[in-house]
Every structure is written in structure tokens, then in C-alpha cells.
């Protein structure tokens, strides 16, 4: 049975937010795209590969994907995913009996998942790698402008689809024809279902993750680095570094209270030369410390009148730029705010969002916790606010 794989990489990865398409980003010394292609070629289960890319990256891709394995054809994608799959299918040889469709953004697919999909597609006509839902699944609806639970779905009936998805040639041809008629679908399996073809589910793999966000990319890189380290593959020295920051300011009358870039209603604020945002100061010191770039007092001394009442978020962004110039990027931040009053909990979400914009991170990579000092020392007596911060940075 001759098997072809169509690897779809025609998107721009806009949710990742970078200038480079996500399929061309580095993942352990190879691009995301190359890892996806290699997974199918090295499996020994695929006789030919068709890669679908944006037209403007085709020239470089042909060199990047050139090696001595199964033949590779590169074609330009279309406006929609289903258009890109259709163009890839057109390039598949007439001898292929089973055609796999795979998202290049799933570069960690295993041989076992590929093998299960090929076997089921050959036997039943269509198959999808999927994992059963592990959490309770809620269907929501909007009431009064907010989401509420409409119904709880039976968890044992819910499966999360992955790729590859496999089809006998004639089944995929029917699905693509339906899509060409104007029907919209999120994947080819859905089109096959709408064409009346049963689609078999095969066991996927939780490690077969899709890289969509920056957090996904960091996780994939950590997985690959862990695998390489376990195989004794040499890793670049000091790929990650950690810094610790600390700041404390007295609470005084006549000053606004600003923490993490958020103005908090309170009768007192923090004393300081700048806006005295102790959260930003502690995070700035943690970042500078991680890269051995000095500290906030050296870079923005309180003896310099130019920093009088300065916006500490701007100082933090300057530190982020220095981290980038040193060849690192911020991975995550953990912050502890120690104060008796006011209560910080209601403002944590706003702090995470504001810090995320300054740091260029999803708020999922930022932790802000509020603690008290149980009445002990100046913070415990409500005379001051103290902040501890830890920053992790990694090589670009």
C-alpha cells in the first residue's frame, strides 16, 4: 500500500506574534517544519511527502527540505486550510492509495501515531488521531454578556482531534470536492463526515501538541531539549539563567499607590524618586540579575533628576531591551507582594496583564501572589510594601 503525506504549513502563525512564520522557527536545531517532515520520512511508513507553504517562502524551503529520504514536493497554499490541502492533494502521485494530512505545527508526532492512522485509514477509509477528554467538558452560552454553563457533556464521548488524519484516496477526494463547493470545515475529517463517510478514531498522543502560542513553543523547546539531554546530545552552555529581585518602599501620604503598573485606590502611596512601583523595580532587578547586567540603582540612579517620577514600566521595558541585546529572552516571571494593606488580590489580574505587555509575555507566563507579614516588622505594621521577584531568561 503506497502512502503519501500532505504536510500543511501554509499559515502565518499570527497568534505567535513573530515576524518569522512559526513553521520556520528553530526547535532544537531544526525548524518546526523540518521536524514534522522528518517525523514522516523517518517513520518508514510514507513513500512521498507534499509540503504546502506560503508562496513567498517556497524558494528557501526547497533547499531546507532537500535530503535523501522519500521524495518531497513543495507547493503553494491557498487562502483557507482546506484550499491548501486541496493543492497538496493535487500534487500527490496517482499511485498513492492512502493520503495523510498533517499540520506542520505538530512537529512532535510519533511513529506509533502515524502507524495507527495509516492502518485505520487503509482498513476503514478515514481515520483521525485523537485523545479522549480528561477534564469535565462544559458547553457555554452567553447570558447578560457573560458566559455561563449551558450543559455538561458526557466526557467519555468527547475526543480532541489531532493530526495526522488519514484517508483512502477516494474518500479524501470526496471531502475536498465538498469543500470546493463552498462548504466550510475546520479539518478534512469534518468534510468526510459531511460527505457521509464514517471516520475512525485512533489513539493519539498527548505529546503530539500543536504549536499555536509562544507558551506552546517554549513547552515544545523544553521537551526537545529534555529528549536531547537524555540521549546525551550536547546542549549549548547556559541556555537558561535565573535572577532574583527585591524592593521595599515606605507607604506615605500624598503619593499614588502604583504596583505592577496598576494604580490601586488607597489613602497612601509609595515613597521614591520615580513612581516607586516596587513590583516593576523588583522584576527589573531580577531580569538584570539573570543576565549579570547590574541593578536598577546603577542604571537609573535616584541621584539623576531625569528619573524623577519616572514611569517604572518604562524602566522595566528598558531592562527587557537590555536582556534582548545580551542574547536572551524572558521566559517567565514570579512575583510576591508583601503588604498588610491594601488587599492586592483584586488587582492581580490587571497587574499580570500590564506586566505582560511590558515584558512581551502571555499573562500565563506571569505569576503575581499577595502575602502578608502577619504583623511583623514595617510591612506587617502597614508602614511599607515589599516585593520579591524571580525571572527566568533563556537563549534566543
**DSSP, residue by residue, 335-360:** EEEE-SSS--GGGHHHHHHHHHHHHT
In a domain, 348, yes or no: yes
DSSP structural state of residue 154? P
Q: How many domains does the chain have?
A: 2
Q: Which residues of the chain have pLDDT under 70?
A: 12-19, 58-69, 228-239, 396
CA distance 370 to 343: 8
pLDDT score recorded for residue 238: 47
Please name which of 301, 293, 300, 280 lies closest in space to residue 393, comparing C-alpha atoms.
293
Residue 210 burial (10 A CB sphere; 0-12, 13-18, 19+): middle
Assess if residue 208 is contained within a domain: yes
Range of the domain at 383: 240-395
Supply 89's cell numbers: 492533494
Beta strands 366-371 and 328-338, pairing class: parallel
Are 81 and 150 part of one and the same domain? yes
Alpha carbons 340 and 119: distance in angstroms, whole number:
63
Within-domain flag for 235? no
| Per-residue confidence (pLDDT) for residue 303, from 0 to 100 | 79
Q: Do 263 and 391 fall within a single domain?
A: yes
Instruction: Determine the pLDDT at residue 237.
Output: 47
User: Which of 180, 212, 230 is the endpoint of a domain?
Assistant: 230
**Does 290 lie in the same domain as 148?**
no
229 by Cβ neighbours in 10 Å (0-12 / 13-18 / 19+) ranks as exposed
Residues 265 and 198 reside in one and the same domain: no
Residue 335 domain-assigned (yes or no): yes
251 lies in some domain:
yes
Q: Are residues 39 and 187 in the same domain?
A: yes
Whether residues 134 and 182 share a domain: the answer is yes
Q: Which of 337, 331, 332, 330 lies closest to 368, judged by CA?
A: 337
Tens of pLDDT, residue by residue over 302-344, are 777 777 878 889 999 999 998 888 888 999 999 999 999 888 9
User: Could you tell me which of 99, 95, 101, 103 has the C-alpha nearest to residue 122?
Assistant: 99
Domain check: are 285 and 214 in the same one?
no
What is the model's pLDDT at position 66?
A: 55
> Residue 337 pairs with which residues in a beta bridge?
370, 387
Specify whether 199 is located in the same domain as 270. no
For the stretch 40-97, pLDDT in tens is 998 999 999 999 998 777 665 554 565 556 789 999 988 888 899 999 999 999 999 9
CA 123 to chain CA mean position, Å: 36
Amino acid at each position: 500500500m503506497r502512502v503519501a503525506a500532505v504536510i500543511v504549513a501554509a499559515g502565518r502563525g499570527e497568534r505567535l506574534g513573530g515576524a518569522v512564520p512559526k513553521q520556520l522557527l528553530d526547535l532544537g536545531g531544526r525548524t518546526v517544519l523540518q521536524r514534522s517532515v522528518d517525523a514522516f520520512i523517518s517513520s518508514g511508513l510514507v513513500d512521498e511527502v507534499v509540503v504546502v507553504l506560503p508562496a513567498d517562502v517556497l524558494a528557501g524551503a526547497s533547499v531546507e527540505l532537500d535530503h535523501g529520504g522519500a521524495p518531497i514536493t513543495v507547493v503553494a497554499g491557498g487562502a483557507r486550510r482546506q484550499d491548501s490541502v486541496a493543492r497538496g492533494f493535487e500534487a500527490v502521485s496517482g499511485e498513492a492509495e492512502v493520503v495523510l494530512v498533517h499540520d506542520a505545527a505538530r512537529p512532535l508526532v510519533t511513529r506509533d501515531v502515524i502507524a495507527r492512522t495509516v492502518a485505520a485509514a487503509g482498513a476503514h477509509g478515514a481515520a483521525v488521531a485523537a485523545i479522549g477528554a480528561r477534564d469535565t467538558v462544559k458547553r457555554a452560552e452567553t447570558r447578560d454578556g457573560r458566559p455561563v454553563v449551558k450543559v455538561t457533556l458526557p466526557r467519555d464521548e468527547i475526543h480532541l482531534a489531532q493530526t495526522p488524519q488519514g484517508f483512502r484516496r477516494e474518500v479524501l477526494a470526496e471531502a475536498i470536492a465538498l469543500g470546493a463547493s463552498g462548504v466550510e470545515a475546520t479539518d478534512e475529517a469534518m468534510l468526510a463526515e459531511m460527505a457521509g463517510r464514517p471516520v475512525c478514531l485512533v489513539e493519539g498522543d498527548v505529546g503530539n501538541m500543536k504549536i499555536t502560542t509562544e507558551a506552546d513553543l517554549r513547552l515544545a523547546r523544553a521537551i526537545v531539549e529534555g529528549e536531547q539531554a537524555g540521549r546525551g546530545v550536547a546542549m549549548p552552555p547556559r541556555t537558561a539563567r535565573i535572577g532574583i529581585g527585591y524592593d521595599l518602599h515606605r507607604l506615605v501620604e500624598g503619593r499614588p499607590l502604583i504596583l505592577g503598573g496598576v494604580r490601586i485606590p488607597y489613602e497612601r502611596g509609595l515613597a521614591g524618586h520615580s513612581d516607586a512601583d516596587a513590583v516593576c523595580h523588583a522584576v527589573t532587578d531580577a531580569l538584570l540579575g539573570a543576565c549579570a547586567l547590574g541593578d536598577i540603582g546603577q542604571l537609573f540612579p535616584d541621584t539623576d533628576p531625569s528619573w524623577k517620577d519616572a514611569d517604572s514600566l518604562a524602566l522595566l521595558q528598558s531592562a527587557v531591551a537590555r536582556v534582548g541585546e545580551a542574547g536572551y529572552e524572558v521566559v517567565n516571571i514570579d512575583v510576591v507582594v508583601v503588604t498588610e494593606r491594601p488587599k492586592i488580590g483584586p488587582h492581580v489580574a490587571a497587574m499580570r496583564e500590564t506586566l505582560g505587555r511590558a515584558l512581551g509575555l502571555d499573562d500565563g507566563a506571569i505569576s503575581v501572589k499577595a502575602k502578608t507579614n502577619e504583623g511583623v516588622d514595617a510591612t506587617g505594621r502597614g508602614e511599607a510594601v515589599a516585593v520579591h521577584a524571580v525571572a527566568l531568561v533563556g537563549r534566543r
